[in-house]
Structure 1
Amino acid sequence: MTIAGCADDIDDSAAPSAPPTPPSVSASTTTDTDQLHLVNLGDSFSAAAGVQPLVADSPVLCLRSSRNFAHVLAAAEGYRLTDVSCSGADTTDFASLQYDGVPPQLDALTDDADIVTVMIGGNDSDLYSTAIRECADLAARDLSGSPCADTRGAEYVDIVENQTAPALLDALQAVRDKAPDAEILVVGYPWILPPTGGCYPAMPVATGDVTYLRELQSVLNAALQRAAEQTGARFVDMAPASEGHDACAPVGQRWIEPRNGASGAAPVHPNAAGQQAIADAVAAALE
């Protein structure tokens, strides 16, 4: 998300401008037309921001990794891959130009798409990056309390219900319209925080706000699931599998890197192990 992408805890809007990239929307692992064609859409969780190496011909601002879950899945299953995931993307970037040289993601969908994977929503209204940042700023007031919940209340959840959820439905319907015969899989966001406790200062969230942000993520994933069901897509729920692999888990166990001390991925984003786990979950859903 930029929560990613769930949204990225990176401020993508403040990223420096870069020279225009040639408007190639694909990064294919193979051109064998007899293989099933996988198209990957989405944000920085889908792109695997910070996981090296990047796809050689991809737009630099997208931070698209050659080890994201779509590349891992395509290599394992022998799919032909078109990957247009891009850090900072929200649902508006499905139909609009995101950066110079980064066409609307829906442009990648053609009649020969067999499988479409989608991971999007955390960046809408700058939701999750704002929540993480503001809750971190407020944590110093009362580390054992819930200063963010006390200050923001239902504000973030209301944004999901009233703005993000309708946008997700529209975006997924547009995907369905462009690829009516494809198997569409909507991937939920893996847990960023544990159920309780937290791990300040690696994740600078007050103890009482850990459950507050978990609830926000749960509401976002529920909106994704509803939109998937309403558009005939499958929802790949990463919540059960990712329990215990959040940003507070030990190195080697965590799938999400913390805000402070991240290694191998962008802060508050899936690392290579997290991307492998997502690939495994999508593969299982396709069986």
Structure 2
Amino acid sequence: MRRLAACLLAVFTTLVVVAPPSQATGPVRYVALGDSYSAASGVLPPDLTAPPQCLRSTANYPHVIAAATGAQLTDVTCGGADTGDYLAGQYPGVAPQLDAVTRDTQVVTMTIGGNDSGVFINSILRCGAAGLTTLGKGSPCRDQYGSSFQDTIRTTTYPSLVRVLKAVRAKAPHAEVAILGYPSILPATRGCFPLMPVAEGDVPYLRGVQATLNDAIRRAARATGVTFVDLSRVSEGHDACQPIGVRWVEPVLVGTNPVIVHPNALGEAQMAAQAMKVMRRL
């Protein structure tokens, strides 16, 4: 009987010692990385603990996730971030985002890539400027820039995404890492000039640029074993041309977010819901 008790004790002790991180007691250790879509830049209330330059909101999807799951959140999201800001400080006094990730981190989320090479934001701004010159007619942006935006995403943004996702996984080898795509900004058919000052013929062109970016994110996630949270389908019909209470992203004109073409509080809540639906540890 003593020998049996000793064996049972040894087995129990071994199970406790080798229990995987997912079975550890206490709240899930959650680190949020990423750009303004992660930070919810412009959405009230602001996060007063964040560097002012980061324009971070306590209504961003990481805070929504943490409130819903009880996770212990470390939020280093920052407006304007690109993949380079994971490895180097974005602003003086702001540490590289990867510094927040440690070996005992259990969950990491992010939205990143849209600011790389200025491609995504530049495509929106330049197409908006071009649309104003034609009063919303034709396809002046596509005619001027052709495939240049998509070419840069494929040749520059994609490898940068792969590099930083590998770096995140190296720092937190036991964590579930998830990267969210970007929600729909324009509708599938006609736009809403001048609220979104994009010429009618450039609406499908810009949607193509966004689809290329989201595809690059998806492929980078697959190449590095990271969870991809696809927002393309679920956000259809919630673009910046829709009315308040339906849209997840605010338009250039007459919007509720001073940081134009960015998610509102509803959009952030829906991004959180989709992440929690897809991820295993949330």
**TM-score (normalised: structure 1):** 0.87
Q: Which residue of 2 aligns with 1:198?
A: 191
1:91-102 to structure 2, matched below 5 A, reads 91-102=83-94
CA distance in structure 1 between the aligned counterparts of 2:255 and 2:245, rounded to whole angstroms: 12
Q: 2:66 aligns with which of 74, 77, 80?
A: 74
Q: Is the 8 Å Cα contact of residues 160 and 223 (structure 1) preserved in structure 2?
A: yes
Structure possessing the higher radius of gyration over alpha carbons: 2
CA distance in structure 2 between the aligned counterparts of 1:247 and 1:128, rounded to whole angstroms: 16
Q: 2:123 aligns with which of 115, 122, 131?
A: 131
> Structure 1 residue 141: deviation in Å?
3.5
Percent identity at matched positions?
Answer: 49
CA distance in structure 2 between the aligned counterparts of 1:78 and 1:170, rounded to whole angstroms: 30
Q: Is the 8 Å Cα contact of residues 48 and 265 (structure 1) preserved in structure 2?
A: no
> Structure 1 residue 140: deviation in Å?
2.8
1:226 partner letter: R
CA distance in structure 2 between the aligned counterparts of 1:271 and 1:260, rounded to whole angstroms: 14
Query: Which structure 1 residue ranges, 4+ long, deviate > 3 Å from structure 2?
Result: none
Matched, 1:160 2:159: no
CA distance in structure 2 between the aligned counterparts of 1:215 and 1:163, rounded to whole angstroms: 17
Q: 2:169 aligns with which of 169, 172, 176?
A: 176
SS at match of 1:240: coil
> Structure 1 residue 144: deviation in Å?
2.3
5+ long unaligned stretches in structure 1: 1-32
5+ long unaligned stretches in structure 2: 1-24
Q: Is the 8 Å Cα contact of residues 89 and 98 (structure 1) preserved in structure 2?
A: yes
Q: 2:267 aligns with which of 264, 267, 274?
A: 274
Q: Is the 8 Å Cα contact of residues 227 and 279 (structure 2) preserved in structure 1?
A: no
CA RMSD of aligned residues (A): 1.0
Q: Which residue of 2 aligns with 1:60?
A: 52
CA distance in structure 2 between the aligned counterparts of 1:272 and 1:89, rounded to whole angstroms: 20
Bigger relative CO (Cα 8 Å, ≥ 6 apart)? 1
SS at match of 1:241: coil
Q: Which residue of 2 aligns with 1:17?
A: none
1:214-233 to structure 2, matched below 5 A, reads 214-233=207-226
Q: Is the 8 Å Cα contact of residues 45 and 57 (structure 2) preserved in structure 1?
A: yes
Q: Which residue of 1 aligns with 2:33?
A: 41
How far does the alpha carbon of each residue in 1:181-230 deviate from its partner, in whole angstroms, 9 at most, with x for none? 10011100000101121001110000000000000000000000011011
Matched, 1:89 2:104: no
> Structure 1 residue 265: deviation in Å?
5.5
Matched, 1:213 2:210: no
